[in-house]
């Protein structure tokens, strides 16, 4: 028999693919099953338009059987089959896709589509087989043909016998080598689990002869015998293709568990059946608790991706933006090709559309949760709020508008969390900024002297307790045109006229402040009278972009850039300490120096900043005492 060579480029591609594209050998089965499923789809489609062909749902199935002795694995389908020419063109030319051709010549109706646009799937068989034989009979032909190849140097085609239209593919599974075992592809249980994993939701039954044990007829008590039993091993109708109204909360929870999306119960599910510019079904979950590795580098975001019921990727990262990386679930689309590489998927227009769509669905779901079930939203926020805040900050604030309404903070006037829009709705008539204070805990912030004046005016203050908070807010800049303002910044923007009194006070003490500034040279940028202090003697305020809290966060980072806030020491003119300073200035320079340094150290301590020289500080303290 004449042996035909593969086209030159096919041969090269074949080698490449077998050795590199598919890293998991087991997916050959997914490829062959999806081809069979396509073939049945095609027959179904023909039956819709051609009266001569009947489509009897019950007859259509995919059958798998393994023979350990002969080392063969056979897949049989009752699909459309292939003519001699089709065997030659479809299987002889690697990059030629029959599905693609079929798609082009037939307008798809009915949403009935064919998986797969890339003609390399079939060749995946050669990853596990050293010989593949395909016997096929087309619905359009009277005779059947056998195509046979060992994968490397070509193929033969000869006439064969076969009664019913369809295709039988027989793989001769490779012998084990020193470092690779192929026996698993002849093992019933292994095969069953591969089918379950990748092809569970193929619309046609996948049948397999499975060994079971039954009580032996007229045998002894407890005696059993091995019997072969045909079983349907796929579940056929996936939950995401079912109608929402048929499903209960428990069904979704069961699915979440089956899929091992998490060990918790999902807080919310989103079931989408989209039939627009791109068609897809999707079930998404918002988990309740943070996975243990969530805020680590090990955590991988992504959704399961199916092309028409066939799993093509376990974690498709491109479907989720980073700020929603906590979302679990899957997407199944008829418009996707049974694609081969991540690189290709990245550029897929359909996939991008789906991703965009999903993002807005997640956002609106979270928003409605916030509106209708505040308690649940707060539970969610405690687990993943940090991620949302990172989302505001990352990529130079590119996504801040998407996220700003999902943020929650503690505040000075409310017991629980507040949203930014709630804050703004409560703003006083004369208030033009959104005020915030930063600290380690709510309790500590509440005691901060910096908050006194703002709080005294009856303004609400947002409490920032996480290191990301202030960075996110800096990126946000404003909300509903109200600028964010730290209570610690040097200029509080309180729209107050400088009163005559304070001007006078300022002039009268100019020299004192100059002297103190010289004493603290290199440590503070300025020394001023404080307008915000009521009971405390001193505080540090920051001028410019970097606040004191940010300085702390930045200093704690491993690659710390020694970024420092520009600090201003503010003195409370109504505090007795102030009088002590004034008199020291006039009488005792040493004392002024001592007091100034002590007050500066106190201000550092209030801010939670480290003392520059603790030994010097204690010495100074002692000097005051004795």
Footprint of Mg ion (CB under 5 A): 35, 116, 121
Q: Which is nearer to Mg ion, 121 or 391 (CB)?
A: 121
Which are the contacts of 265, defined by CB distance < 8 A and separation ≥ 6?
A: 253, 256, 288
Query: CB of 103: closest distance to ligand ADP in angstroms?
Result: 9
- The answer for residues whose C-beta is within 8 angstroms of residue 125's C-beta and 6 or more apart is 28, 31, 32, 132, 169, 171
Token output for 499: 């009163």
CB of 170 vs Mg ion, minimal distance in Å: 17
Q: In the complex with Mg ion, which residue's Cβ is closer, 116 or 449?
A: 116
Nearest to 36 by CA among 168, 145, 125: 168
Q: Smallest gap, in angstroms, from Cβ of residue 38 to ligand ADP?
A: 6
Q: Contacts with ligand ADP in 61-80 (CB under 6 A)?
A: 77, 79-80
Nearer to ligand ADP by Cβ, of 37 and 602: the residue is 37
Residue of the chain from 92, 116, 238, 329 that contacts ligand ADP (CB under 6 A): 116
**Is 141 one of the binding residues for ligand ADP (CB under 6 A)?**
no
Q: What sign has the CA pseudo-torsion 378, 382, 383, 384?
A: positive
Q: Which of residues 269-308 bind ligand ADP (CB under 6 A)?
A: none
The residue from 14, 17, 78, 121 that contacts ligand ADP (CB under 6 A) is: 121
Binding residues for ligand ADP, total number by CB under 6 A: 23
The entry of ligand ADP, Mg ion, none near residue 98 (CB within 5 to 8 angstroms by kind) is ligand ADP
DSSP letter assigned to residue 455: H
Q: Which helix (H) or strand (E) holds 31?
A: helix 27-49
**208 scored as a contact of ligand ADP (CB under 6 A):** no
- Residue 122 CB, shortest distance to Mg ion, in Å, is 6
Q: State the minimum distance, in angstroms, from the CB of residue 434 to ligand ADP.
A: 56
- Cα 131 to its chain centre, rounded Å, is 41
Q: How many CB atoms lie within 10 A of CB 396?
A: 8
489 binds, among Mg ion, ligand ADP, none (CB under 5 to 8 A by kind): none
Non-local (6+) Cβ contacts of 202 within 8 A are: 33, 34, 37, 62, 234, 236, 309, 310
Position 120 contacts ligand ADP (CB under 6 A): yes
Residue 36 interacts with, from ligand ADP, Mg ion, none (CB under 5-8 Å by kind): ligand ADP
**In the complex, which residue's CB is closest to ligand ADP?**
98
Nearer to Mg ion, 169 or 594 (CB): 169
Q: What is the largest CA-CA distance in the chain?
A: 119
Task: Kindly report the three-state secondary structure assignment for every residue of 371-434.
Answer: HHCHHHHHHHHHHHHHHHHHHHHHHHHCCHHHHHHHCCEEECCCCCCECHHHHHHCCCCCCCEE
Q: Which of 39, 144, 330, 351 binds ligand ADP (CB under 6 A)?
A: 39
Which residue shows structure tokens 């350990």?
A: 68
Helix (H) / strand (E) containing 69: none
Q: What tokens were used for 599?
A: 């007050």
CB of 28 to Mg ion, least distance (A): 11
Q: Could you tell me the smallest distance in angstroms from the CB atom of residue 187 to ligand ADP?
A: 23
- CB neighbours of 277 closer than 8 A, spacing ≥ 6? 353
Q: Does 233 interact with ligand ADP (rule: CB under 6 A)? A: no
List binders of ligand ADP among 164-183 (CB under 6 A). Answer: 167
For ligand ADP, the closer of residues 350 and 488 by Cβ is 350
Q: Which does 418 bind (CB under 5 to 8 A by kind): ligand ADP, Mg ion, none?
A: none
Contact 365, 286 (CB under 8 A): yes
Q: Which of residues 81-110 bind ligand ADP (CB under 6 A)?
A: 81-82, 90-91, 97-99
The b-or-e profile of 344-367 (16+ CB within 10 A means b, else e) is ebeebebbebbbebbbebbbebbe
- Closer to Mg ion by CB, 120 or 351: give it: 120
- Report which residue's Cβ sits closest to Mg ion: 121
Q: Smaller CB distance to ligand ADP: residue 38 or 607?
A: 38
* DSSP state letters, 255-318: HHHHTTS-SS-EEEEEEEEEESSSEEEEEEEEESS--TTTTSTT----EEEEETTEEEEEEEGG
Q: How far is the CB of 109 from ligand ADP (least distance, A)?
A: 20
Smaller CB distance to ligand ADP: residue 116 or 391? Answer: 116
Question: How many angstroms separate the CA atoms of 296 and 292, rounded?
Answer: 9
CA distances (Å), origin 309, targets 77, 334, 478: 17, 8, 45
Q: Which stretch binds ligand ADP (CB under 6 A): 113-121, 460-468, 575-583, 595-603?
A: 113-121
Q: Which is nearer to ligand ADP, 80 or 565 (CB)?
A: 80
- Pick one of ligand ADP, Mg ion, none as the site partner of residue 92 (Cβ within 5 to 8 A by kind): none
Q: According to CB under 6 A, which one of 41, 63, 119, 464 is a site residue for ligand ADP? A: 119
Name the site residues for ligand ADP (rule: CB under 6 A): 31, 35-36, 38-39, 77, 79-82, 90-91, 97-99, 116-122, 167
């Amino acid at each position: 028999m004449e042996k035909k060579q593969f086209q030159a480029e096919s041969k090269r591609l074949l080698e490449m693919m077998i050795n590199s594209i598919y890293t998991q050998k087991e997916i050959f089965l997914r490829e062959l099953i999806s081809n069979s499923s396509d073939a049945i789809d095609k027959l179904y489609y023909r039956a819709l338009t051609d009266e001569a062909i009947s489509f009897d749902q019950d007859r259509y199935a995919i059958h798998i059987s393994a023979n350990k002795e002969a080392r063969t694995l056979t897949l049989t389908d009752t699909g459309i089959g292939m003519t001699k020419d089709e065997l030659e063109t479809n299987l002889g030319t690697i990059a030629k896709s029959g599905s693609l051709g079929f798609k082009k010549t037939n307008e798809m109706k009915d949403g009935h589509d064919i998986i797969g646009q890339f003609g390399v799937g079939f060749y995946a068989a050669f990853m596990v087989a050293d010989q593949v034989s395909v016997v096929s009979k087309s619905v359009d032909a009277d005779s059947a043909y056998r195509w046979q190849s060992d994968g490397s140097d070509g193929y033969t085609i000869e006439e064969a016998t076969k009664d019913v239209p369809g295709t039988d593919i027989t793989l001769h599974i490779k012998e084990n080598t020193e470092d690779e075992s192929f026996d698993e592809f002849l093992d019933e249980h292994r095969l069953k689990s591969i089918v379950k994993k990748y092809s569970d939701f193929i619309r046609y039954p996948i049948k397999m002869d499975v060994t079971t044990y039954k009580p032996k007829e007229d045998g002894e008590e407890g005696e059993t015998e091995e019997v072969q039993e045909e079983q349907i091993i796929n579940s056929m109708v996936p939950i995401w293709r079912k109608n929402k109204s048929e499903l209960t909360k428990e069904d979704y929870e069961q699915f979440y568990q089956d899929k091992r999306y998490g060990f918790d119960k999902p807080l919310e599910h989103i079931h989408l059946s989209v039939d627009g510019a791109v068609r897809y079904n999707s079930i998404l979950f918002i988990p309740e608790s943070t996975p243990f590795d969530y805020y680590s580098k090990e955590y991988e975001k992504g959704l399961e991706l199916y092309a028409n019921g066939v799993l093509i990727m376990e974690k498709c990262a491109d479907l989720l933006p980073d700020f929603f990386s906590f979302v679990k679930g899957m997407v199944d689309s008829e418009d996707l090709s049974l694609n081969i590489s991540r690189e290709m998927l990245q550029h897929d227009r359909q996939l991008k559309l789906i991703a965009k769509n999903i993002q807005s669905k997640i956002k609106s779901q979270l928003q409605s949760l916030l509106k209708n079930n505040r308690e649940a939203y707060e539970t969610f926020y405690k687990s993943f709020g940090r991620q949302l805040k990172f989302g505001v900050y990352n990529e130079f604030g590119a996504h801040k508008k998407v996220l700003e309404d999902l943020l929650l903070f503690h505040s000075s006037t409310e017991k629980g969390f507040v949203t930014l829009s709630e804050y703004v709705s409560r703003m006083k008539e004369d208030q033009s900024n959104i005020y915030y204070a930063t600290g380690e805990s709510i309790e500590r912030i509440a005691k901060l002297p910096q908050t006194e004046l703002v709080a005294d005016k009856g303004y609400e203050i947002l409490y920032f307790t996480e290191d990301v908070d202030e960075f996110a807010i800096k990126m946000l800049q404003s909300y509903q045109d109200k600028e964010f303002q730290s209570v610690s910044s040097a200029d509080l923007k309180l729209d107050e006229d400088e009163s005559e009194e304070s001007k006078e006070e300022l002039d009268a003490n100019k020299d004192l402040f100059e002297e103190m500034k010289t004493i603290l040279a290199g440590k503070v940028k300025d020394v001023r009278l404080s307008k915000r202090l009521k009971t405390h003697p001193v505080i540090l305020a920051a001028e410019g972009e970097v606040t004191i809290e940010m300085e702390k966060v930045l200093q704690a980072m491993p690659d710390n850039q020694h970024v420092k806030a520009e600090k201003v020491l503010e003195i409370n003119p109504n505090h007795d300490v102030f009088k002590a300073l004034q008199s020291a200035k006039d009488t005792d320079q040493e004392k002024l120096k001592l007091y100034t340094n002590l007050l500066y150290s106190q201000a550092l301590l209030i801010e939670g900043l480290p003392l520059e020289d603790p030994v010097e500080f204690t010495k100074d303290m002692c000097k005051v005492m004795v």
